[in-house]
Homo-oligomer: A and B are copies of this chain.
Amino acid sequence: MAGNTIGILYRLTTFGESHGKAVGGIIDGCPAGIDLDFEFIQRELDRRKPGQSAITTQRKEQDKVEFLSGIFEGKTTGAPIGFVIWNSDHRSKDYDNLRKVYRPSHADYTYYQKYGIREHSGGGRSSARITIPRVVAGAVAKLIINKLGIEIAAFTSQVGHIKLEQDYTQLDLSNTESNAIRCPDNETANRMISLVESIKKQDDTVGGIITGVIKNAPIGLGEPEFDKFHAELGKNMLNINAVKGFQIGSGFDAALLKGSSHNDLFIVDNEKVKTKTNFSGGVQGGITNGMDIVFKVAFKPVATILKPQKTIDTELNELEINPKGRHDPCVLPRAVPIVESMAAMTVLDFYLRNLAIKL
């Protein structure tokens, strides 16, 4: 229970550090007989990988996944799927001077205090690089739920003060991949990209918000007491590096509303039950209701900035750090596929759990 496993029936356990030999994982509980589209899985990894655009870190990694087990003639066998992604461009030397330093708002201090020992290079286990296995398992989950008709789309909806103003229903979400910031509205995307470029020139970083939408999820996903659909989804989002907040449907704006405005009235549309509004965000009483599941995830600015900062070391001496190197000025575009992956695993896991509810 050291926290490196996600899921109940569709489970991912991961390993790896930023500058170790490899990152990887084991997918356990993947249903048998699933055709794996390896190109799709690799494409998903490519959406996360460094160096994909001018506004992402230039660390050079192929991020090619090598599957080691659980697959026979292209299909899953029901056995655990072991996989590795080898680290290639790990310049541990870049980090020698950081061996004893607690970088501000990084996990250096807390890891050292918790474990009494720390792999310092590149953040070790706390690096965003450890999210790679999630994208692998998320891509496999997507393949399965897509076949069930469920679709997941995430996109950047805010960078710094620049917000996407349109509602997602007014936008073509397939447009998200057409720009470097992964915002479905090109005009807003351009403003966001300009902001990131300007922040980058300042050797600084910036935060933002990613919106996620899950369409066509079956009614009934989620366990109503301690594993509510949105609670598990929220946990999985909050487990993404740099995330500081999660909300579903009306979210924090719900505080402002009256019940008479916030209640989603049921209507019958073409013999299907829907709600007139969707302040619930597709979840009522912790269970999906068939409406779009809509949620937002808040990201803080990346902690590594290329400006000098005061800090301390393990012996509590004060010092100044001035990192060089290859870093993301804004984590949002690379986090979009991670958000989608976590959502896909969440949906699939609840889907499988739901099979045992009624006989």
Contacts and interface: CB of A to CB of B under 8 A. Distances in A.
B20 A69 contact: yes
B312 A268 contact: yes
A164 to B, nearest CB: 12
A158 B279 CA distance: 19
A106 interface: yes
B234 A158 contact: no
Interface stretch (A9-17, A46-54, A171-179, A182-190): A9-17
A80 interface: yes
B259 A305 contact: yes
Interface string A77-104: 1111110100000000000000000101
A1 B352 CA distance: 11
Interface in A282-325: 283-290, 296, 298-305, 307, 309-312, 316, 318
A326 interface: no
B13 A110 contact: no
- Copies in the assembly, this chain: 4
A213 to B, nearest CB: 16
Contacts of A352: 356
Contacts of A298: 247, 251-252, 254-255
A220 to B, nearest CB: 4
Given A14-B225, A358-B32, A22 B82 contact: yes
Majority SS of interface residues in chain A?
Answer: mixed
A79 B302 contact: no
Interface size bracket, A side: 35 or more
A118 B72 contact: yes
A205 B318 contact: no
A241 to B, nearest CB: 8
A287 B353 CA distance: 21
A320 to B, nearest CB: 11
Given A105-B262, A273-B316, A15 B78 contact: no
A353 B14 CA distance: 19
Interface string A151-168: 000000011110000000
A61 interface: no
20 contacts: A1-B11, A3-B222, A3-B224, A3-B225, A5-B28, A13-B26, A13-B28, A15-B68, A79-B124, A79-B125, A107-B285, A109-B289, A110-B222, A110-B285, A114-B219, A114-B357, A207-B262, A227-B239, A228-B239, A260-B307
